[in-house]
Amino acid sequence: MTSFHVPYAVPTVLLALAFFLKLPTFVRAWRDPEIRATTLLLFWATAALVVIIPVNIQRLNEMTGIPNFAAPWAYSFLTASCATGLTMIMRWREEPSERRRRRLRRIHAAYAATIVALWVTFVLADVPRTRIYDLDTYYATTPWMREHILLYLLAHLTSCLTAAYMLWKWFKEVGNPWLKTGIVFLQAGFALGLVFDVAKLTAVAARWCGVDWDWLSTKAAPPFALMEAVLAAIGFIVPQAGPALKRWGRDQSEYLRLRALSRAVRVLAPAAPARFGLWVPLDLRVLQRQQRIHDALRLLAPYFDAGLYRAVYAEAARTRPEAKARATAGAVALREAIDAYRAGTPARTTGQPSRVSTAVTDHLGAISVALHRPRSLDSIRRRVTSTESPKAHV
């Protein structure tokens, strides 16, 4: 029994994880219709999978004291996820307009009516025996329960066919690679959903004809439904999560690149240090680190030796590409400025406001990377010093 539940648990956990990862974004931007629709879709799909786990079907029936109460409960979540999926595709394909709003309202109304009809037919049906695995075929010929089963299957079939058709027509027009990837997952998911519907309907029709093909409903169909849920969820998430992950990777790279320079200027005292918690978004932590560095550079400006920067750059440019030569020169000059600041060396005073050259401020990431190689910086600093000493003597 337990092993039979594992296939249900895996997609349910994946969908639940996706839902909880999406939840903070929903809390921050719940007014965004796409984010709201994605979150609701994940919720409906997760809820449907949670309910159809056999042990949960039994628990829900026992808790309510109503035989087969889990059927309309699960089918309602499934129908709601179908409606949300269709409306999301329409939001992607069409620009906001009155025509689109009317179509969205019609879909919501049609599927809401379907959910109401599911509950009405269930109340009218006589289903005294609880069936966990074969409810669809066991009650396939029972008045009102027959209509109940057909309602949810036809609603699901209609959504899969409609969504697959819209995506097929739209695919060639899409240029965004993330959206294109999402469409591929969605097409695969809806194709599996169609297989699920065909298997279920075939088993039900066989019962009408007095033939026992229940295995199509109890054994063959469920895996396709589970895979459909996973692929469809991935398809809806990828177009939004993909760019977010790309931004996260870029921010993470920048945050790590600036770590050495941030540590180097930590000995200074920025005028207004900002403090963020561990749960603050990464982009804000990057902004914090950049701000601290720029605050420190303002303090270091009177100690920054532009002549040393030029000398180190000239020496480094002999053996290194221009970008690396500038990073090396900036790292050496900033280290000297930090040492001068810490030693209390009198700052240079001029009539002009002092500031660090843009040759440094525009390449902070590369300079920070160069600070990871202190021996190389010491070596080139010694070469510059040894070159300057004979010139000074002459």
Amino acid at 214: D
CA distance 317 to 308: 14
Positive or negative, the CA dihedral 127, 128, 130, 131 is: negative
pLDDT band at 392 (very low <50, low <70, confident <90, very high): very low
Q: Give CA angle at 156 (152, 159), nearest 5°.
A: 140
Distances (CA, A) of 123 to 57, 112, 390: 18, 17, 101
Amino acid at 299: L
Residue labelled with tokens 């906001």: 96
Q: What is the pLDDT of residue 173?
A: 86
Query: What residue spans of 29-174 are helical by DSSP H?
Result: 33-52, 54-64, 70-93, 98-124, 135-138, 145-170
Identify the CA nearest to 138 among candidates 125, 155, 151: 125
Q: What is the mean pLDDT of the chain?
A: 85
First-to-last alpha carbon distance for the chain, in angstroms, is 93
CA distance 234 to 344: 58
CB contact at 8 A, 193 and 156: yes
Tens of pLDDT, residue by residue over 201-230, are 999 999 999 999 999 999 999 889 888 888
Q: What is the pLDDT of residue 152?
A: 95
CA distance 242 to 184: 14
CA distance 32 to 96: 13
What pTM was computed for the model?
A: 0.72
What is the number of alpha carbons within 13 Å of residue 312 lying toward its C-beta? Answer: 27
Q: Which of 4-18, 75-89, 104-118, 123-137 has the lowest mean pLDDT?
A: 4-18
Q: Which of 163-167, 171-175, 183-187, 214-218 has the lowest mean pLDDT?
A: 171-175
CA distance 91 to 55: 37
